[in-house]
């Protein structure tokens, strides 16, 4: 367990003039709105992705670049004379940290997306220990950036994100803002958690079961809010780690209600005390037994951040995009990464019906 977050600074806000920006992972869920936000703010943006595609929402001045960052020398070549700010939406692990740190002579500053999955509680319990006996984390509410993290390493997603953070913060010549994102939501996700409710509505499923009485809270962040944090951090370089979440931390029941409202749908919700009553019944992608709620005070102080949207307000756009993706095809085809992560557990209606029948006698 690592105590605190070395490298976080409390520097006063100084704003630079928008110049040149280079965005890695530009056509991903986070990259698309980040590119748009930077371009609207006056940055000359080069948007890099493996296929070099453009997003319809980008202004004409955005330059799309085809790039495989893991090809030796490719990133340095694509940067050419360098840039004022490099935004990395897809970095993790020591290799990516070293790659970015080596660019310090060509890059003025960086903004890099990390994850709230790095946090552990005072006993070292976190996302990586949830399946162990007494391994469920009990985080303080709300949780600041001073909360301990897992040790850096290459074993898990969380340890690789911490390795990324530590190595970048140690790169003295490259000011880096690291954004610890919560449960990311918005269009263009490859693993949209909201599918749990959207698909059930499309299947006309008239009942759903929520464990922990639907009160689980895994703090969310809309991609528009992440894009705003990226925009502000680009203008105000510094060596810092900041939480990145929505202004509210909705419960699972509130998430379901927001999706229902966007779809014009209603159904019965059965609330269960405690953990899921049996396998594949009542478990959701947000079903934490204890809340994970992040504090945004540091981002407000360091960047002057104010959220541009909330969870419920943003949901219609997400649902509209998701239903288009699901039109005339199975959810496994539309979201293969979601199927790989969860299998059929999300929509095991037979198991639910069997449990409901037993419960109702």
pLDDT tens track of the chain, all 361 residues? 666 665 454 444 568 899 999 999 999 999 999 999 999 999 999 999 999 999 999 999 999 999 999 999 999 999 999 999 999 999 999 999 999 999 998 999 999 999 999 999 999 999 999 999 999 999 999 999 999 999 999 999 999 999 999 999 998 889 999 999 999 999 999 999 999 999 999 999 999 999 999 999 999 999 999 999 999 999 999 999 999 999 999 999 999 999 999 999 999 999 999 999 999 999 999 988 999 999 999 999 999 999 999 999 999 999 999 999 999 999 999 999 999 999 889 999 999 999 999 988 7
Rounded Cα distance, 272 and 322, in Å: 28
Q: What are phi and psi of 43, to 5 degrees?
A: -75, 145
Which segments within 35-147 are labelled E, that is strand? 44-49, 63-66, 83-88, 107-115
Q: Are 112 and 171 in contact (CB under 8 A)?
A: no
Cis, peptide link before residue 146, omega less than 30° from 0: no
pLDDT at 68: 96
Q: How many other C-beta atoms can be found within 10 angstroms of the C-beta atom of residue 335?
A: 21
pLDDT at 360: 85
Tell me the pTM. Answer: 0.94
Q: Are 201 and 8 in contact (CB under 8 A)?
A: no
* Residue entry with tokens 């897992």: 150
Q: Are 178 and 238 in contact (CB under 8 A)?
A: no
CA distances from 70 to 67, 84, 98, 168 (A): 9, 22, 12, 18
Phi-psi region of 340 (alpha: psi -120 to 50; beta: other; left: phi over 0): alpha
* Residue entry with tokens 């947000």: 286
Torsion of Cα atoms, 265 then 221 then 349 then 204, to 10°? 20
Instruction: Tell how strand 63-66 and strand 44-49 pair up.
Output: parallel
Instruction: Tell how strand 207-210 and strand 268-271 pair up.
Output: parallel
Q: Which domains does the chain carry?
A: 20-359 (3.40.50.720)
pLDDT at 9: 47
Structure tokens at 90: 């897809």
Label residue 191 exposed, middle or buried (CB < 10 Å: 0-12, 13-18, 19+). middle
* Cα 208–chain centre separation: 26
Q: How many other C-beta atoms can be found within 10 angstroms of the C-beta atom of residue 149?
A: 26
């Amino acid at each position: 367990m690592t105590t605190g977050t070395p490298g976080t600074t409390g520097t006063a806000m100084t704003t630079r003039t928008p110049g040149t920006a280079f965005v890695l992972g530009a056509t991903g869920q986070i990259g698309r709105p980040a590119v748009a936000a930077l371009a609207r703010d006056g940055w000359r943006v080069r948007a890099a992705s493996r296929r070099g595609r453009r997003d319809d929402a980008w202004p004409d001045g955005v330059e799309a670049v085809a790039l495989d960052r893991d090809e030796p020398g490719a990133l340095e070549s694509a940067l050419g004379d360098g840039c004022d700010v490099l935004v990395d939406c897809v970095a993790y692990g020591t290799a990516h940290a070293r790659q970015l740190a080596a660019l310090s002579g060509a890059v003025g500053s960086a903004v890099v997306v990390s994850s709230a999955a790095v946090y552990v509680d005072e006993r070292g319990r976190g996302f990586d220990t949830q399946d162990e006996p007494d391994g469920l984390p009990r985080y303080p509410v709300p949780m600041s950036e001073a909360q301990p993290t897992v040790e850096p390493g290459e074993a898990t997603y969380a340890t690789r994100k911490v390795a990324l953070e530590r190595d970048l913060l140690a790169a003295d010549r490259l000011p880096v803002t690291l954004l610890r994102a919560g449960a990311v939501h918005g269009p263009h996700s490859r693993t949209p958690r909201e599918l749990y409710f959207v698909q059930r509505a499309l299947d006309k499923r008239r009942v759903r079961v929520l464990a922990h009485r639907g009160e689980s809270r895994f703090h969310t962040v809309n991609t528009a809010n992440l894009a705003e944090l990226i925009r502000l951090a680009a203008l105000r370089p510094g060596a810092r780690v900041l939480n990145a979440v929505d202004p509210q931390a909705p419960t699972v029941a509130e998430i379901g209600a927001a999706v229902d409202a966007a779809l014009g749908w209603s159904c019965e919700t059965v609330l269960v005390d405690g953990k899921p009553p049996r396998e594949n019944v009542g478990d959701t992608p947000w079903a934490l037994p204890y809340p994970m709620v992040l504090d945004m005070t540091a981002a407000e102080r360091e960047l002057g951040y104010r959220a541009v949207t909330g969870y419920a307000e943003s949901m219609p756009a997400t649902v509209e995009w998701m239903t288009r993706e699901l039109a005339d095809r199975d959810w496994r085809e539309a979201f293969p990464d979601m199927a790989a992560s969860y299998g059929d557990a999300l929509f095991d209606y037979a198991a639910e019906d069997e449990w409901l029948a037993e419960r109702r006698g």
